[in-house]
Structure 1
Amino acid sequence: MGLKNENVLIVDDDINILELIHRHLQSFNYHAYKAVSVKEALAILKDSNIDLLITDLRMPNVDGMQLINYVSEHYPKLPKLVVTGYPSVDDALNVLKSGAIDYLVKPFTKEELRQAIVKSFAANKQHSEENIAQTKVNKEGNQQYGELIGRSKAIKKVTAIIDRVKDNKATVLINGESGTGKELVARSVHYMGKFSRAPFIAVNCGAIPESLLEAELFGYAKGAFTGAQEQRSGLFQAANKGTLFLDEVGNASPAVQAKLLRALQEKEVIKVGSQKSEKIDLRVIAATNSDLLTMVQKGLFREDLYYRLTVVEINVPPLRDRKEDIIPLVDKFLTKYGLEYKDRVVKITSDALEVLMRYNWPGNIRELENAIQRSVIMCEKQIGLEDLPDNLKVKISFSDDELMPLREMERRYILKVLEATGNNKTRAAYILKIDRKTLRQKIQ
């Protein structure tokens, strides 16, 4: 074992334990990094390519559980092995829930450590193979790519572009209406590629006040403004070596746009209130539901920044233009919310599914997911027409070819009722269950 000299990071405030594990790792032919605190471990993680984390739980200041949670979020594919001298059932459960592979109690033997490391790497290899297998086509022809799912040509075109860019750091701009899943596309670019173990940081430029966005992105120096009592790094620095996702980038102010351009051109950032530049190495993925080119023409968005962001463009089509994807998406949400609320996979009737297929989904996938979530909560055994949100049943869309015969049928029915009532509009309106004003409008 250890022929590839995998990099293992050991974190423990006990120097004796740290050195003991270090010697064992060397005998196993691993390369070891040592850290006596979580702060030191985070610095190593940012600057090194680590293949396994071994950490103690009880440490001063920031404990090992916080480190595990951080690694689970920012380095989701990095296997984690916990060692502790203070075992408890709660700790063990929390550790395993957080995604750690194994849990060793001190003192442990060299062989126990070796077996735990082998188990951790084996589990990680299986996880990697499962990630590769996430791009698959099932018997219904539904393609799943990471968290993206669909059978339409449109979604397959999106995943084909992701395949081309996932292993390089080219800047990507994702266009699409609100609710189409632009962040899922960005996450697929990051997590399906070779940089997946590096940080993925997402920021919604439209959710942060303009006055604070610059400081959030680039950080600030001590005393840069009232309340800046200490120096702070920004999201660009936090995403170093990984991916920074800028959602709704069209909302960035001219000042932020200028700094974004510099960061992309020079690969460096300057904190607010500072003159010192800091080198960065990351991929920027931006997204917008606005027409940036029109904004450029109106002078609302920098042209040079626009072209820097559009090295690669991914256009995510609205759900109404890829209705083949509705059924696999419904299946996904029925499973997700059925297990969450009913402890089983919930079914849906054909009539209810037909309504979902006819609806135009102005809110796209987000609206579909919310509708299924609500319907799962409201239904008894399966989702029927009565369980769907009322607006879905009202806002069914018809094509012109479908509307013409419906209008003709309505016209003939109104004429027959008028004939039967001797053209008595009050009586006809009562039979038709509409008011006289509406009847007059229909007659006209």
Structure 2
Amino acid sequence: MGFNRENILLVDDDVHILELLQRHLQTLNYHTFKAVSVKEAIAILQDQSIDLLITDLKMPGVDGLELVKYVSEHFPSIPKLVVTGYPSIDGALEVMKSGVMEYLTKPFTKEELKSAVAKAFEGRPKKASIPQEDSDKKSYGELIGKSDAIKKVTDVIDRVKNNKATIFISGESGTGKELVARSIHYMGKYATAPFIAVNCGAIPESLLEAELFGYTKGAFTGADENRNGFFQAAHKGTVFLDEIGNASLATQARLLRVLQEKEVTRVGSQKVEAIDVRVIAATNVDLKDLIAQGRFREDLYYRLTVVEVSVPPLKERKEDIGLLTNKFLFKYGVEFKDRLVTISEEALHALERYDWPGNIRELENVIQRAVIMCDKQVTIADLPDQLKYHITFPKESLTLLPLKEMEKAYILQVLEATNNNKTKAAKILQIDRKTLGEKIK
């Protein structure tokens, strides 16, 4: 007999209890996942479809009650069963308030476990699946959000994911252009093929052609073997050209041929190689300005922009700041604190009020710093000063006077400061005493 459809996650710092629970549940034909800490449990919840959580309460570091609260909000459709060796009325009430369906006290029999699991499954919603937020996150990889601005981006992704049309992604620095490119690739039917990301701004101009198209032995100093370029490596998949505006005109000419003819020629070779790749390009500068300056080919621009995706800045999708903040709190809470970190309402309001000129990258850096500086919750005190409330004072009105009047007023001010000592005043004004006398007259 095979396993039942349900997956059960077991969480306990006692490995012997984990093994016992696993043996009992396997004899009941359930498939199980084991975790010895809350940190491991959350990682499993993020990657697997779990139908029931069975957790101990007393564990070192982050306890089981924290895990129960986390699952109740992030995975509300997953039923929860608490197993503990330290029963108390107050403890039982607290876990029940957190959404726990069953409460089992150690030691327990196999029949008691079987009954508790069955009751937990009976009380679950008909659709035992991850919440919509997590579904969206899975669908679009690291690209998350619920704003209208980001929905426009995901709508385009849905339309282009299964074809190899050339795509151009524009947006300010730090908005997540590479995340959009990865989502296009990994959501579609070419997801199993290579995805090669190339930062054109990070490769010296003299080497960019060789890195993109490959080279032959002896093509230049240091070329001691034949080598594939990024386009050959991305065959049948996607090559993502970030900061394409940094490519030289010579490289642009060769790239134009690649897009037109679907073939490349290695540096130092005359042999043409056919390739099958989807090209996604991105930039944070206006290519039309570069065209006007003669620094970017207009024909290449139109080849690249078969489909255009404009990634909105964070200030235009502020309703997504809460989701992004939770993502970074989880990431850096586990990395730096080995526990879940929350954020106060006041601190979250400060994040939502700020305009984020550095976009998502700046938000991530702020949250990373705040997690390091805080204890268990990020508060206003943990945020940098530029995010806090500022008072803007009105500029003092300035009376505009002719230069002669300004000079007169300043000379009188210096004379007053020197008690009418003309020698000292002339020294301060860096003129001789005779000139000062004439100006006084």
TM-score, normalization by structure 2: 0.58
Q: What is the one-letter code of the residue matched to 1:197?
A: T
Q: Deviations over 1:124-143 (max 9, x none)?
A: xxxxxxxxx99973399999
Q: 1:136/1:349 Cα in 2 relative to 1: closer, same or farther (>3 Å)?
A: closer
Secondary structure (helix, strand or coil) at the match of 1:233 reads coil
| 1:309 pairs with 2:304 | yes
**Which structure has the greater CA radius of gyration?**
2
Separation of aligned partners in 2, 1:134 and 1:244? 34
Q: 1:298 Cα deviation (Å)?
A: 2.2
Separation of aligned partners in 2, 1:235 and 1:168? 20
Q: Deviations over 1:310-335 (max 9, x none)?
A: 00000001001111111110011111
Q: 1:209/1:240 Cα in 2 relative to 1: closer, same or farther (>3 Å)?
A: same
Q: How does 1:238-249 map to 2 (within 5 A)?
A: 238-249=233-244
How much identity, in percent, do the aligned residues show?
A: 69
**Partner of 2:262 in structure 1?**
267
> Out of 277, 280, 286, which is 1:282 matched to?
277
Separation of aligned partners in 1, 2:163 and 2:291? 27
Q: 1:300 Cα deviation (Å)?
A: 1.3
> Out of 384, 394, 405, which is 2:379 matched to?
384
Q: 1:272 Cα deviation (Å)?
A: 0.6
**Partner of 1:345 in structure 2?**
340
Q: Deviations over 1:383-405 (max 9, x none)?
A: 111111233227x6x9xxxx7xx
Larger deviation: 336-345 or 180-189? 336-345
**Partner of 1:152 in structure 2?**
147
Aligned length: 270
> Out of 325, 329, 332, which is 1:330 matched to?
325
> Out of 358, 372, 387, which is 2:353 matched to?
358
Determine if contact 2:137/2:143 at 8 Å carries over to the other structure. no
Separation of aligned partners in 2, 1:140 and 1:152? 16
**Partner of 1:90 in structure 2?**
none
Determine if contact 1:142/1:151 at 8 Å carries over to the other structure. no
**Partner of 1:251 in structure 2?**
246
Separation of aligned partners in 2, 1:230 and 1:223? 7
Q: What is the one-letter code of the residue matched to 2:345?
A: S
| 1:225 pairs with 2:220 | yes
Determine if contact 1:135/1:146 at 8 Å carries over to the other structure. no
Q: 1:340/1:353 Cα in 2 relative to 1: closer, same or farther (>3 Å)?
A: same
**Partner of 2:180 in structure 1?**
185
**Partner of 1:162 in structure 2?**
157
Larger deviation: 335-344 or 301-310? 335-344
Q: What is the one-letter code of the residue matched to 1:222?
A: K
Q: 1:328/1:278 Cα in 2 relative to 1: closer, same or farther (>3 Å)?
A: same
Secondary structure (helix, strand or coil) at the match of 2:388 reads helix
Q: Deviations over 1:174-198 (max 9, x none)?
A: 0000000000000000001000000
In structure 1, runs of 5+ residues without a counterpart are 1-132, 412-444
Secondary structure (helix, strand or coil) at the match of 2:169 reads strand
Determine if contact 2:139/2:187 at 8 Å carries over to the other structure. no
**Partner of 2:295 in structure 1?**
300
Q: 1:147 Cα deviation (Å)?
A: 1.4
Q: What is the one-letter code of the residue matched to 1:208?
A: I
Q: Deviations over 1:219-278 (max 9, x none)?
A: 111110111111111000000000000000000000100010000000000011111110
Separation of aligned partners in 2, 1:141 and 1:267? 34
Q: Deviations over 1:326-375 (max 9, x none)?
A: 11100111111111112222111111111111111010000000110110
Q: What is the one-letter code of the residue matched to 1:337?
A: Y
Q: What is the one-letter code of the residue matched to 1:328?
A: L
Q: 1:267/1:333 Cα in 2 relative to 1: closer, same or farther (>3 Å)?
A: same
Secondary structure (helix, strand or coil) at the match of 2:196 reads strand
TM-score, normalization by structure 1: 0.58
Separation of aligned partners in 1, 2:284 and 2:342? 33
Q: How does 1:74-113 map to 2 (within 5 A)?
A: none
> Out of 206, 210, 216, which is 1:215 matched to?
210
Separation of aligned partners in 2, 1:139 and 1:203? 29
Determine if contact 2:168/2:304 at 8 Å carries over to the other structure. yes
Q: What is the one-letter code of the residue matched to 2:385?
A: D
Q: How does 1:194-205 map to 2 (within 5 A)?
A: 194-205=189-200
Determine if contact 1:150/1:329 at 8 Å carries over to the other structure. yes
Separation of aligned partners in 1, 2:237 and 2:135? 35
Separation of aligned partners in 2, 1:135 and 1:307? 42
In structure 2, runs of 5+ residues without a counterpart are 1-127, 398-441
**Partner of 1:111 in structure 2?**
none
Determine if contact 2:169/2:280 at 8 Å carries over to the other structure. yes
- Root-mean-square deviation (CA, aligned residues, Å) is 2.7
**Partner of 1:236 in structure 2?**
231
Q: What is the one-letter code of the residue matched to 1:223?
A: G
Separation of aligned partners in 2, 1:376 and 1:275? 55
Separation of aligned partners in 1, 2:181 and 2:266? 26
Q: What is the one-letter code of the residue matched to 1:266?
A: E
Secondary structure (helix, strand or coil) at the match of 1:367 reads helix
Q: Deviations over 1:80-131 (max 9, x none)?
A: xxxxxxxxxxxxxxxxxxxxxxxxxxxxxxxxxxxxxxxxxxxxxxxxxxxx
